[in-house]
Structure 1
Amino acid sequence: MVDSLGGPYRVNNMLSTLHLKTISDANLKIMGQPAGEVIEQFATESARIAASDAILNEMT
């Protein structure tokens, strides 16, 4: 999340625009680690499903 928005400064800028409390840089890093792991697992599973679908389409 932090990287896609352009860093912790822009994340806090977006949050303040939405009238939400800002988050410290350290807490953003702590929250980003588990989120990154979940996103990586989802991407791996999605790629595996897409590959198996492509193989099945080639065989039929």
Structure 2
Amino acid sequence: MIDGLDGVVKVNNFLSALDMKEVHPENLKLMENQAWEFIETVAKESSKGTVQEKMAHEISSL
């Protein structure tokens, strides 16, 4: 949210344009950290299968 809209001020300007309550910058940072934890977990899980497939392919090509 912060990266896509280029900062806390623009996020709050966007919310104001939608006639919604602004979000405190500390709360935005907490939400951003939670999102990154989720993204890291998904990335690690999805890469495990890819690495195993590449290792199996390399071993079978020997």
Q: Taking structure 2 as the reference length, what is the TM-score of the superposition?
A: 0.62
Please say which of residues 42-51 and 26-35 is displaced more in the overlay. 42-51
User: Any unmatched runs of 5+ in structure 1?
Assistant: none
Q: Aligned pair count?
A: 59
Partner Cα separation in structure 2 for residue 2 and residue 39 of structure 1? 15
User: Any unmatched runs of 5+ in structure 2?
Assistant: 58-62
4+ long deviations beyond 3 Å? 43-54
- The match for 1:3 is 3
1:39 Cα deviation after fit:
2.1
- The match for 1:19 is 19
Identity among equivalent positions (%) equals 40
Q: Taking structure 1 as the reference length, what is the TM-score of the superposition?
A: 0.64
Please report the RMSD computed on the Cα atoms of aligned residues, expressed in angstroms.
2.3
Aligned with 1:19: secondary structure? coil
- Indicate yes or no: 2:42 matched with 1:42: yes
Kindly name which structure, 1 or 2, has the bigger radius of gyration based on alpha carbons: 2
